[in-house]
Amino acid sequence: MSSLKFVFLNFEGCIDRRTWWMGFVLIHLGIASFNFVLSKFMGDDAPFLDGTWPNLVRLLGDRSGWITAVVFLVPQIAINTKRFHDRGMSGWWWLVFLIPFLVATAISISPLGGENYPSPLAGWAQLICGLTAMWTFITLGFLPSKYAK
């Protein structure tokens, strides 16, 4: 595996599918651990304690969720950008997922989305976010490299 600095902090070059999966798993283990510890330290609701997966609104509604998202944003964009390069695509394709995610999150936590009874607008935004997330995940995690090695 390439150096960690290259994989998680550099936006140039390519990484193969195997390296992307390793980075993906490490980042998400880091997110879960960091957010758990930070939420306990800050007094926010710690996710997963009641045995359920928190929804996006509850997780990002906490201060610890926002801090965690910001801390892990650069490594996520770095590995995804390099994997898009490996697929023969521009790294800017990452915005196909990021923009709908940010819009869906903004709608969900705004008065437009409602807290207990999400509006149809929030539902559509989350559906579009989910579809773009599936496209991104399949493209990066399962499709082969465009460059034969």
Backbone φ/ψ region at 147: left (φ over 0), alpha (ψ -120 to 50), beta: beta
What is this structure's pTM?
Answer: 0.83
Q: What is the structure's pLDDT at 108?
A: 73
Q: Which of 4, 5, 7 is nearest to 16 (CA)?
A: 7
Each residue's pLDDT tens digit, 45-77? 655 555 554 555 555 556 787 888 889 999 999
Report the C-alpha gap between 103 and 96 in whole angstroms: 12
- Region for residue 54 given its phi and psi (left: phi exceeds 0; alpha: psi -120 to 50; beta: otherwise): beta
77-106 average pLDDT score: 91
pLDDT classification of 104: cutoffs 50, 70, 90 = confident
